[in-house]
Amino acid sequence: MLVGYLIVLLAIGFWSRRESGDLKGYYLAGKKLPSWVIAFSSNATGESAWLLLGLTGMGYAIGVHAFWVILGEVLGVASAWVFVARPFKEYTDRFDAITVPDYLTDRFRDTHHIFRWLSAIIILSMVVAYVAAQLTASGKAFDSFLGTGYTAGAAIGLAIVLFYTTVGGFKAVAYSDFVQGVLMLGCLLTLPFVGVAAAGGLGAMFGELAAADPALLRPMGTFGLGPAGIASAFGFVAIGFAFLGSPQLLTRFMAARDQRQIVDGGLWAVLCVIGFDVGAVFSGMAGRALFPGLVDPETILPEMSQALFPALFTGIFLVVVLAAIMSTVDSLLILASSVVVRDVVQKAMGSDASEQRLSLLGKAVTVVIGFAAFWIALAEVRVIFYFVLFAWSGIASAFTPVVLCSLFWKRTTRAGAVAGMMGGFVVTVVWTVAFKERFYDLYEMIPGFIAGFACCIGVSLFTEPDEGAVAELESVRQAVGPLF
Amino acid sequence: MSFDAWLLLFVAVGLGLGLEIAFITARRRDRGGDR
């Protein structure tokens, strides 16, 4: 099973190799992707091993309080496709943009490349942490399922991703994400049905949960309707905000063949995220009824796969966990490579190297970033998902408020956008380090977004927008037409 | 599971699906209008 999956990935890499000869091909698959690929690819990228191990663990540990994550993610994905995707696609097609910093630079007439340098610093620091956490999960998954040892497991995961990413570029990443997304969806639609049936049906499962702890069946959980409960619920909803403007997800809209793919892809994306999240939470709840008393709730998926399915399925579940890891790692590596090569080397530093040479450099940078993350992963990051949620928040808080203002508020200025990026990112980091524990563990994305919007809007109000940029925004709005 | 838990789940799923279906319906109407 595992060998078959790896052969499919390598074949996709080999099949996509022709597209990766220039920068637009390597980083955006030549802007030719169909709706179903961008839909599954964006969801598989957004949901890492956190979905399979972390969210099932939340269903196990806190029960229906985890429904707030479903609310946030479903609304986040739907809003991204309905409100953000089409104007963003229209803008980036006009600018012939390859990266999100490309878009910001052209949107705000940034001749000093401030957005490119700032984006490079933020994306590189967050991507290395994010990929290191995923490689840690890869090492643990290989070791627990096949006994390879931690280091070998992380190395195998990285080697496979690096092969198909460097050979096939973004096209290989997007199509492998599609395969991986389908595998994840299949797992998360099957597991809760088998788990609930094994627990004796929905009624018996709820009975077991109520007997274990009645708070498992209440939306506000053990916290109740106090400040801690509200902070926790808001934090879970906020996880979904990142879908509105994180660069690794926005690149999917840029890579769509045309606007029609976005209209057609949205429903697939929403159905997919509903299946992902509802399946994960109900799997965890069924797991709690069946296997109470686990020391680590995040091991509930391997526990259920081994106890409820024949031995053959153990291989399938390993493949699904690896799919979740790889679909995120490949997209982050190519995102980091794109800011180094396209934004820093080609644009900010003005390299006149040919597209072919830059594409080769992009592949080399992908490998270097992968090895940097591997080196960090060797330290065996203990709390995998703490780092995942932090990096998810760091990237989202820096980019999402600014991207949203740039698409919907014509008074947004260059200085405001720079302040918004810096404010969102810095507050995320500072909040996590200094304030989080003192304020009911409020998830860093909420203060990060508030700071990002406040800085962007506040500074924009004291500066003047470029007249050409204002006219351009109105022209984009006209081209896109009304929402409903 | 309590009524408010079911309500939260249906609101989560319903809001996302409703938004997306309203959007697709509007776009199809536009395409029909173009013809």
Amino acid at A379: A
Give pLDDT, residue A380: 62
Alpha-carbon distance of A312 to A322, in angstroms, equals 16
- Domains belonging to chain A, first-starting first, are 2-385 (1.20.1730.10)
Q: Is A55:A277 a contact under the CB 8 Å cutoff?
A: yes
Q: Min CA distance, A452 vs chain B (Å)?
A: 25
Instruction: Answer for the pair A35, A264: CB distance below 8 angstroms, yes or no.
Output: yes
Report whether pLDDT(A453) > 80: yes
**Contact assessment for residue A128 and residue A339, using Cβ atoms and an 8 Å cutoff:** no
Residues of chain B neighbouring A79 (CB-CB closer than 8 A): 19
What is the pLDDT, as a whole number, of residue A169? 81
Q: CA–CA distance from A359 to each of A97, A163, A354 (Å)?
A: 16, 15, 9
Q: Who among B4, B5, B22 is closest to A484 (CB)? A: B22
**For the segment A64-111, what is each residue's pLDDT rounded down to a tens digit?**
999 999 999 999 999 999 999 999 999 999 999 999 999 999 999 999
Q: Cα separation of A191 and A52, whole Å?
A: 11
The pLDDT tens digits for B2-35 are 889 999 999 999 999 999 999 988 888 877 765 5
A359 pLDDT band, cuts 50/70/90, is: confident
Residues B12, A75: C-beta atoms closer than 8 Å: yes
Give the ipTM: 0.92
Measured between beta carbons, the chain B residues lying within 8 angstroms of A81 are: 20, 23
The residue that leads in pLDDT, A2 or A220, is A220
Q: Tell me which chain B residue has its CA closest to the CA of residue A221.
A: B5
Name chain A contacts of B34, Cβ cutoff 8 Å. Answer: none
For residue A210, how many C-alpha atoms fall within 13 Å in the half-sphere facing its CB?
8
Kindly tell me if the per-residue pLDDT of A218 is higher than 60. yes
Contacts of B32 (CB under 8 A, 6+ apart): none
Distance CA A259, CA A264 (A): 9
What pLDDT is stored for residue A291 in this prediction? Answer: 92
Name which of A78, A219, A278 is nearest B19 (Cβ-Cβ): A78
Contact A263 B27 (CB under 8 A): yes
pLDDT at A280: 95
Q: How far is residue A169 from each of residues A13, A28, A35, A128, A387, measured CA to CA in Å? A: 8, 8, 19, 19, 26
Closest alpha carbon within chain B to A209: B1
User: Residue A109: what are its φ and ψ, rounded to 5°?
Assistant: 50, 50
Find which of A234-243, A272-281, A323-332, A336-345 is predicted with most confidence, using mean pLDDT: A272-281
Per the CB < 8 Å rule, is B19 touching A64? no
Residue A484 has pLDDT above 80, yes or no: no
Contact status of B29 with chain A (Cβ, < 8 Å): no
Pick the residue from chain B with its C-alpha nearest to A206.
B1
Nearest to B20 among A70, A206, A267 (CB): A267
Q: In sequence order, what are the beta bridge partners of A256? A: A33
Q: What would the mean pLDDT of A7-25 be, rounded to a whole number?
A: 80
The stretch A398-426 carries a mean pLDDT of: 95
In eight-state DSSP terms, residue A125 is H
Share of chain A above pLDDT 70, in %: 98
Contact at 8 Å (CB) between A233 and A220? Answer: yes
Q: A62 or A227: which carries more pLDDT confidence?
A: A62
Question: Nearest residue of B to residue A274 by CA position?
Answer: B13
Tokens of A219: 């939306």
**Under 8 Å between Cβ of A241 and A74:** no
Q: Do A67 and B9 touch (CB under 8 A)?
A: yes
CA distance A108 to A471: 12
Report pLDDT for B30. Answer: 76
Higher pLDDT, A21 or A142: A142
Nearest to A401 by CA among A429, A423, A430: A423
B15 contacts A75? CB cut-off 8 A: yes
> How many angstroms away from the CA of A298 is the closest CA of chain B?
22
Instruction: Assess whether pLDDT exceeds 90 at residue A198.
Output: yes
Instruction: Tell whether B10 lies on the interface with A, counting CB pairs under 8 A.
Output: no
Q: Is the Cβ–Cβ distance between A73 and A226 less than 8 Å?
A: no
Residue A33, beta-bridge partner list: A256
CB-CB under 8 Å, A71 with B8 = yes
Q: Which one has a higher pLDDT value, A353 or A448?
A: A448
Give chain A's contact residues with B (Cβ, < 8 Å).
64, 67-68, 70-71, 74-75, 77-79, 81-82, 206, 217-219, 263, 266-267, 270-271, 273-274, 278, 481-484
Question: What is the average per-residue pLDDT within A161-178?
Answer: 84
For B16, which of A64, A75, A481 is closest by C-beta distance?
A: A75
In this prediction, residue A393 carries a pLDDT of 86
pLDDT at A448: 94
Rounded mean pLDDT, A447-458: 96
Of B15, B23, B30, the CB nearest to A74: B15
Residues of A in contact with B26 (CB under 8 A): 482-484
Helix%, strand%, coil% for chain A, nearest 5: 85, 0, 15
Angle subtended by helix axes A35-46 and A311-338, to nearest 10: 100
How far does the CA of residue A484 sit from the closest CA of chain B (Å)?
A: 5
Mean pLDDT of chain A: 89
Q: pLDDT tens digits, residue range A469-483? A: 899 999 999 988 877
pLDDT of residue A60: 94
Predicted TM-score (pTM) of this structure: 0.90
Mutate to test the interface with A, among B6, B11, B19 (most CBs of A within 10 A): B19
Residue A299 — very low, low, confident or very high, per pLDDT cuts 50/70/90? confident
Q: Does pLDDT of A383 surpass 80?
A: no
What integer pLDDT is reported at residue B34 of this predicted model?
56
Phi, psi of B15 (to 5 degrees): -65, -45
pLDDT of residue A390: 82
Task: Please give the average per-residue pLDDT across A403-429, as a whole number.
Answer: 95
Give the pLDDT band of residue A344 (cuts 50, 70, 90).
very high
For residue A460, what are its two tokens? 């924009």
Q: What is the dihedral angle through the alpha carbons of B27, B28, B31, B33, rounded to the nearest 10 degrees?
A: -100
Contacts of B14 (CB under 8 A, 6+ apart): none
Q: B22 touching A, CB under 8 A?
A: yes
Whether the CA torsion A124, A128, A134, A138 is positive or negative: it is: positive
Q: How far is CA A238 from CA A7, A390, A449, B26, in A?
A: 37, 12, 9, 28
pLDDT of A217 reads 93
pLDDT at A417 over 60: yes
Residue of B nearest to A233 (CA): B8
pLDDT in tens, A138-159: 888 788 777 888 899 889 889 9
Cα dihedral A462→A246→A70→A178 (10° resolution): 160
Highest mean pLDDT among A178-182, A187-191, A419-423: A419-423
Kindly report which listed range (A12-16, A17-21, A41-45, A288-292) carries the lowest average pLDDT score.
A17-21
